[in-house]
């Protein structure tokens, strides 16, 4: 059997639900340089640039505040204005200057959340809890993320061959479809339906011809041979249907944890999320 | 698991149902265990109105009262030749003594039986019995080596074929004669009377003049026309098939050609003949052929 494997790559920010589902597979302990890299589209890549941006945002009432307080305030203003990307820069700058600033970490996490960068949001909330393990917002978000992670992990753990086997037994091809081998499932299902259809047709044809033979008072040999031919055809198609049925069950059982099963849906690899579709024989 | 078991059970049932072997159970099928012993083999000829036929050697001689033709068919169904004329008008009976064949017809001029030599057959009869105009309307005939038994609808007359003379008439009066045959095995003359649905058996008394002595009769509840004799059996076609009886006792042996759908069924009485172990029955437009 050959392997054909397609992957369609999408950035994580484009698909919120998918990225949520896949949070369990992400390594959240990313260096902060990654964050800087993420913000290059805004044209500001260093702390110096953040400072320049802060100066442009300076207001008369900010004169007596420390630099981190000013940055935090600017960040809040931008957050309220829904400019999450720029707000993130100020909050991040505050965490850089004061790594134990829980408020700044929390706001950073909110910004990531709003930007649909849930893996970074998760990491930021984790940092919040590191410094304040009773932070209500962080705990709620972590619960939310953990629920998804647990669900995903649990789903993977309970997958057994019998899940695919009984589905194939009930409806040939269903097991393969359950294994995300859609094309194979459709082929197996169609082949089974065609074989069963032809079997039933030939059984019916054989019954008609056999009845005709039983009533014939001439050319009995020909009539009997016709009935016998239909019987043979019915048997052949029945064996094919049985073979497809049995092979479908065995294949579904063997492929219950194949590449397609693991790769179908969302694949997270190298800090990127992929919408993947598997196709294998 | 419940679904799996149910599916497997259904599959097994389906396979067993589909795998039921086919048995040959048709009573007209020679390879079936319940084979009745005779079955349809085919048909001979295509007639407008077949009146009578006679098997002579490997040939079947037939007469058609609409086309006025005499036909010679092989027993395999091939037409060898046919002829008309020769004074034959609306032939109704044909018989043979294994040397010659004789044709009875509704010729109202000579009212006689015409004899033909099958080796030199033409549309001219070699001999006419009698060789003068009679007053009888012969419709059927049967031949023994020395005598010809010619039947009108109510009486049987005996010809001395050597002297070519009408020698005697049976004293028995029939209602409506439909067939007459000579049984060489028992030296008896057998007459079918469709008027009384009976077959009457006579012994020729070859005194001078010869006569027919009544022996016995078989009476039927269904209409009859013709019959065939083979060894100790007599075959009679009726609306319910071909019935086989013991010739001497009239006890029924079996019935065939009464089963199923197709050409291998006899549903009306008609002329009947025997070729080897085969029974031939005329249906008006063809001759159906049955064999073991």
pLDDT in tens, A174-212: 988 888 888 889 999 999 999 999 999 999 999 999 999
- Residue A3 scores a pLDDT above 60: no
- Residue A41 scores a pLDDT above 50: no
- Using a pLDDT cut of 90, give the percent of chain A over it: 37
Identify the residue with better confidence: A90 or A160.
A90
Instruction: Name the residue among A199, A214, A218 with its Cβ closest to that of B264.
Output: A218
Question: What's the mean per-residue pLDDT of chain B?
Answer: 85
Question: By the CB < 8 Å criterion, does B33 face chain A?
Answer: no
- Residue B62 scores a pLDDT above 90: yes
pLDDT at A46: 44
The answer to whether residues B112 and B131 touch, using CB atoms and an 8 Å cutoff, is yes
Can the peptide bond before residue B209 be classed as cis, meaning omega within 30 degrees of 0? yes
Which residues of chain B are within 8 Å of residue A199 when distances are taken between CB atoms? 18
**β-pair partners for B102:** B95, B115
In degrees and rounded to multiples of 5, residue B19 shows phi and psi of -95, 10
Query: How many residues belong to chain A?
Result: 281
| H-helix or E-strand spanning residue B288 | strand B287-291
pLDDT tier at A57, thresholds 50, 70, 90: low
CATH code for residues B40-291: 2.130.10.10
Q: Tell me how far apart the alpha carbons of residues B191 and B180 are, in angstroms, rounded to a whole number.
A: 4
pLDDT at A272: 55
Instruction: Name the residue among A165, A169, A215 with its Cβ closest to that of B261.
Output: A215
Q: In Å, how far is A150's CA from the nearest CA of chain B? A: 27
pLDDT at A227: 92
pLDDT at A257: 75
**β-pair partners for B190:** B181, B201
Q: Tell me how far apart the alpha carbons of residues B158 and B145 are, in angstroms, rounded to a whole number.
A: 12
A-B CB pairs within 8 A amount to 76
Helix segments in chain B, DSSP class H = 2-18
pLDDT at B160: 81
Residue B158 CB partners (closer than 8 Å, separation 6+): B147, B148, B149, B150, B166, B167, B168, B169, B170, B204, B209, B210, B211, B212
Which residues of chain A are within 8 Å of residue B15 when distances are taken between CB atoms? 238, 242
- Tell me if B28 and A216 make a contact (CB, 8 A cut-off): yes
The answer to whether residues B18 and B10 touch, using CB atoms and an 8 Å cutoff, is no
**β-pair partners for B289:** B42, B280
Write down the pTM of the prediction: 0.64
- Using a pLDDT cut of 90, give the percent of chain B over it: 41
Question: By the CB < 8 Å criterion, does B14 face chain A?
Answer: yes
Cβ neighbours around B67 below 10 Å, total? 15
Instruction: Name the residue among A199, A224, A228 with its Cβ closest to that of B29.
Output: A224
User: How far is CA B14 from each of CA A246, B7, B21, B70, rounded to the nearest angstrom?
Assistant: 15, 10, 14, 60
Q: What confidence tens digit (pLDDT) does each residue in A84-120 have?
A: 999 999 999 999 989 999 999 999 999 999 998 888 8
Q: Tell me how far apart the alpha carbons of residues B103 and A207 are, in angstroms, rounded to a whole number.
A: 51
Q: In Å, how far is A251's CA from the nearest CA of chain B? A: 15
- Tell me if B3 and A169 make a contact (CB, 8 A cut-off): yes
pLDDT at A10: 31
Task: Say if residue B208 is exposed, middle or buried (CB neighbours under 10 Å; 0-12, 13-18, 19+).
Answer: exposed
Question: What six digits make up the tokens of A221?
Answer: 């040999």
pLDDT tier at A42, thresholds 50, 70, 90: very low
Kindly report which listed range (A171-175, A262-266, B4-8, B20-24) carries the lowest average pLDDT score. Answer: A262-266
pLDDT tier at A237, thresholds 50, 70, 90: very high
The answer to whether residues B166 and B134 touch, using CB atoms and an 8 Å cutoff, is yes
- Residue B208 scores a pLDDT above 80: no
Instruction: Name the residue among B7, B19, B260 with its Cβ closest to that of A170.
Output: B7
pLDDT at B100: 85
Task: Say if residue B164 is exposed, middle or buried (CB neighbours under 10 Å; 0-12, 13-18, 19+).
Answer: middle
Q: Which of B 198-257 lie inside 8 A of A, CB atoms?
A: 257
- Residue A35 scores a pLDDT above 60: no
- Mutation target to probe the A interface, by most A beta carbons within 10 A, among B35, B255, B259, B260 is B260
Question: What six digits make up the tokens of B161?
Answer: 């074929």
Identify the residue with better confidence: B117 or A156.
B117
Q: What confidence tens digit (pLDDT) does each residue in A13-30 have?
A: 323 333 333 333 333 333
pLDDT tier at B54, thresholds 50, 70, 90: very high
Residue appearing with tokens 């050409």: B263
ipTM over 0.85: no
Query: How many residues belong to chain B?
Result: 292
Taking residues B28-46, what's their average pLDDT? 91
Identify the residue with better confidence: B86 or A94.
A94
* CA geometry: angle A34, A38, A43, nearest 5 deg: 125
Which residues of chain B are within 8 Å of residue A220 when distances are taken between CB atoms? 24, 26, 28-32, 39
pLDDT at B157: 87
Nearest CA among B167, B237, B166, B168 for reference residue B199:
B237
The answer to whether residues A206 and A227 touch, using CB atoms and an 8 Å cutoff, is yes
- Residue B40 scores a pLDDT above 90: yes
Chain A: residues touching B (Cβ < 8 Å)? 162, 165-166, 169-170, 199, 203, 206, 210, 213-221, 224, 227-228, 231, 234-235, 238, 242, 245
Residue by residue, DSSP assigns B80-144 as EEEE--TT--SEEEEEE-SS-EEEEE--TTT--EEEE-GGG--SS-SEEESSS--S----EEEE-
- Tell me if A238 and B15 make a contact (CB, 8 A cut-off): yes
- Using a pLDDT cut of 70, give the percent of chain A over it: 67
pLDDT at A8: 33
Taking residues B125-130, what's their average pLDDT? 62
Residue B94 CB partners (closer than 8 Å, separation 6+): B52, B53, B54, B61, B62, B63, B70, B101, B102, B103, B104, B141
Q: Tell me how far apart the alpha carbons of residues B240 and B221 are, in angstroms, rounded to a whole number.
A: 11
Identify the residue with better confidence: B241 or A161.
B241
Question: What six digits make up the tokens of B187?
Answer: 């030296």
pLDDT at A84: 93
Instruction: Please tell me which residue of chain B has the smallest CA distance to A215.
Output: B260
The answer to whether residues B28 and B265 touch, using CB atoms and an 8 Å cutoff, is no
- Tell me if A216 and B39 make a contact (CB, 8 A cut-off): no
Identify the residue with better confidence: A216 or A280.
A216
The answer to whether residues B109 and B126 touch, using CB atoms and an 8 Å cutoff, is no
The helix, strand and coil proportions of chain A, stated in percent and rounded to the nearest 5, come to: 70, 10, 20
- Residue B83 scores a pLDDT above 70: yes
Instruction: Name the residue among A214, A235, A245 with its Cβ closest to that of B18.
Output: A235
């Amino acid at each position: 059997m050959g392997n054909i494997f397609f992957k369609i790559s999408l950035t994580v920010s484009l698909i919120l639900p998918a990225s949520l589902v896949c949070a369990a597979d992400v390594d959240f302990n990313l260096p902060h340089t990654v964050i800087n890299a993420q913000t290059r589209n805004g044209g500001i890549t260093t702390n110096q640039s953040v400072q320049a941006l802060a100066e442009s945002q300076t207001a008369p009432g900010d004169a007596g505040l420390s630099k981190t307080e000013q940055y935090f305030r600017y960040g809040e203003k931008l957050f309220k204005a829904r400019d999450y990307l720029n707000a993130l820069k100020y909050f991040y700058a505050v965490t850089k200057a004061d790594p134990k600033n829980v408020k700044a970490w929390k706001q950073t996490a909110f910004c990531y959340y709003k930007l649909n960068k849930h893996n970074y949001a998760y990491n930021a909330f984790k940092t919040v809890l590191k410094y304040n393990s009773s932070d209500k917002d962080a705990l709620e978000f972590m619960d939310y993320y953990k629920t998804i992670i647990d669900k995903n992990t649990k789903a993977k753990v309970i997958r057994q061959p019998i899940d695919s086997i009984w589905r194939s037994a009930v409806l040939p091809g269903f097991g393969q479809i359950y294994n995300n081998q859609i094309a194979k499932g459709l082929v197996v299902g169609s082949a089974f339906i065609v074989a069963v259809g032809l079997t039933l047709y030939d059984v019916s044809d054989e019954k008609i011809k056999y009845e005709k033979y039983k009533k014939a008072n001439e050319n009995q040999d020909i009539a009997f041979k016709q009935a016998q031919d239909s019987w043979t055809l019915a048997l052949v198609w029945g064996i094919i249907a049985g073979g497809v049925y049995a092979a479908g069950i065995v294949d579904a059982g063997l492929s219950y944890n194949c590449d397609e099963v693991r790769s179908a849906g969302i694949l997270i690899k190298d800090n990127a999320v992929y919408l993947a579709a598997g196709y294998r024989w | 698991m419940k679904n799996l078991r149910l599916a497997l059970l259904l599959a097994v049932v389906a396979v067993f149902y589909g795998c039921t072997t086919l048995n040959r159970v048709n009573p007209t099928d020679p390879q079936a265990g319940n084979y009745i012993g005779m079955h349809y083999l085919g048909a001979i000829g295509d007639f407008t109105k077949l009146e009578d036929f006679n098997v002579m050697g490997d040939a079947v001689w037939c007469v058609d009262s609409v086309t006025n033709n005499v036909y010679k068919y092989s027993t395999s169904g091939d037409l060898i030749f046919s002829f008309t004329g020769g004074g034959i008008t609306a032939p109704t009976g044909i018989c043979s003594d294994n040397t010659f064949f004789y044709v009875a017809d509704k010729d109202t001029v000579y009212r006689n039986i015409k004899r033909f030599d099958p080796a030199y057959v033409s549309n001219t009869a070699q001999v006419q019995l009698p060789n003068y105009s009679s007053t009888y309307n012969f419709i059927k005939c049967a031949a023994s080596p020395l005598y010809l038994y010619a039947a009108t609808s109510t009486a049987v007359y005996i010809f001395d074929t050597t002297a070519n003379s009408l020698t005697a008439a049976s004293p028995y009066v029939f209602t409506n004669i439909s067939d007459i045959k000579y049984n060489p095995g028992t030296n008896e003359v057998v007459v079918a009377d469709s008027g009384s649905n009976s077959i009457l058996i006579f012994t020729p008394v070859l005194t001078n003049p010869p006569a027919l002595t009544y022996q016995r009769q078989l009476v039927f509840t269904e209409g009859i026309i013709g019959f065939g004799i083979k060894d100790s059996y007599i075959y009679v076609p009726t609306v319910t098939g071909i019935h086989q009886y013991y010739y001497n006792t009239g006890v029924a042996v079996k019935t065939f050609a009464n089963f199923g759908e197709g050409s291998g069924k006899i549903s009306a009485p008609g002329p009947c003949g025997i070729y080897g172990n085969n029974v031939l029955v005329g249906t008006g437009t063809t001759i159906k052929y049955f064999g073991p």
